[in-house]
Amino acid sequence: MKIGFVGLGIMGRPMAKNLLKAGYDLIVYDKYVTAPDVIALGATQGASNQDVASKSDLIITMLPNSPNVKEAVLGEQGILSGAKGGTIVVDMSSIAPQVSKEVAAACAEKNVIMLDAPVSGGEPKAIDGTLAIMVGGDEPTFKKVKPVLEKMGSSVVLIGDVGSGNMAKLANQIIVALNIAAVSEAFVLATKAGVDPSKVFDAIKGGLAGSTVMSAKIPMILDNDFNPGFRIELHIKDLQNALDTAHALNVPVPLTANVMETMQALKMDGMATCDHSAIVRFYEKLAHVEVRKRG
Ligand code: NAD
């Protein structure tokens, strides 16, 4: 099976590498960057989304947001303009569930089947091949692509129809954002009280307050390391999709709205491209204290 891989950013690059290491034949393309490390592992360089699609049986996309996926799949020189009937597109980007449904419907008109399969776990789990992959689409297609997805993730779950993968991802992103905010507020308080934040982390990480989020983000915060990882601007994109989707369904989401404003403030302070663990910087500024490792 020839696999096309489109979008070689922070996530796409290690995911493509894991497919190459598993022995798959890959043709890759990114509109804005090159990935010599992926080519060095044996991938073929594609010339455009259309070129990749015309040479692949399965195309995986890992792009920033809904407009990028629309452009890459439906646009001029896009995937649909090159794909043969029967081709499968698995969009692993985190986008609005409604857009997944729209793009899948446009694909279906050309006998191309699309699944949405966003991921959770960030760059470290993309590198390890242990992402959590949440899939929407039809079951026979899911069964066909599951062995491929299992090379990138340790959990691959079919949730329901196309769009339901991104619905699960929005829930995931709300929980992650609120968890970082809660951890930040609590650690700022403990630090201001004169308690060593490293010791607080050691004491509570194994208890009920412990979380994957806390274990991933507190070490970064203690080291003053806000390199992404997952950029604040991407999390703002996810929360905007969450707010739009919630409001379209008449669901108020007050906590999501609150942390969205925190992220907007950080963006105003020039931190849009920092890791989302920089949420702590908002709380640090309020309390005039920094949650850092003690010398
Ligand atoms: P990124 O910006 O690093 O990579 C996206 C890549 O897509 C870029 O290299 C860009 O050049 C390329 N691109 C954009 N438009 C294109 C087009 N029309 N055709 C071809 N290539 C195009 O983003 P990322 O961090 O790799 O994230 C990708 C997706 O995964 C996003 O939806 C993000 O929300 C999601 N995600 C990211 C993380 C993380 O920790 N970074 C974790 C989970 C999910």
**pLDDT digit string, tens, across residues 209-230:** 999 999 999 999 999 999 998 9
Instruction: State whether the beta carbon of 165 lies less than 6 angstroms from ligand 1.
Output: no
Cα separation, 91 vs 74, whole angstroms = 13
pLDDT band at residue 295 under the 50/70/90 scheme: confident
pLDDT of residue 40 exceeding 90? yes
pLDDT at 169: 98
Amino acid at 288: H
pLDDT band at residue 265 under the 50/70/90 scheme: very high
CA-derived radius of gyration, the chain: 20
Amino acid at 165: G
Query: Is-catalytic flag, 169?
Result: yes
Mean pLDDT of the chain: 97
Per-residue tokens: 36: 């010599």
pLDDT digits (tens, 9 = 90+) for 97-145: 999 999 999 999 999 999 999 999 989 999 999 999 999 999 999 999 9
Instruction: State whether the beta carbon of 188 lies less than 6 angstroms from ligand 1.
Output: no
Ligand 1 centre to CA of 231 (Å) is 10
Total-model pTM: 0.94
Instruction: State whether the beta carbon of 15 lies less than 6 angstroms from ligand 1.
Output: no
Collect all residues with Cβ–Cβ distance below 8 Å to 18 and sequence separation of at least 6: 126, 129, 151, 152
pLDDT above 70 coverage of the chain, percent: 100
pLDDT digits (tens, 9 = 90+) for 66-81: 999 999 999 999 999 9
Choice among 55, 101, 125, 169 that is catalytic: 169
pLDDT at 264: 98
CA angle 149, 8, 222 (to 5 degrees): 90
Ligand 1 centre to CA of 64 (Å) is 4
Q: What is the rounded average pLDDT of the residues 249-260?
A: 98
pLDDT band at residue 248 under the 50/70/90 scheme: very high
Q: What is the rounded average pLDDT of the residues 258-262?
A: 98
Instruction: State whether the beta carbon of 64 lies less than 6 angstroms from ligand 1.
Output: yes
Return the ligand 1 atom nearest residue 237 CA. 34
- Per-residue CA distances from 9 to 32, 83, 120, 208 (Å): 9, 23, 15, 35
Best of 234, 240, 277 to mutate for ligand 1, by most ligand atoms within 8 A of CB? 234
Instruction: State whether the beta carbon of 12 lies less than 6 angstroms from ligand 1.
Output: yes
Ligand 1 centre to CA of 63 (Å) is 4
Instruction: State whether the beta carbon of 229 lies less than 6 angstroms from ligand 1.
Output: yes
pLDDT at 70: 98
Collect all residues with Cβ–Cβ distance below 8 Å to 281 and sequence separation of at least 6: 226, 266, 269, 271, 274
pLDDT digits (tens, 9 = 90+) for 185-202: 999 999 999 999 999 999
pLDDT at 138: 98
Return the ligand 1 atom nearest residue 95 CA. 32
Ligand 1 centre to CA of 72 (Å) is 12
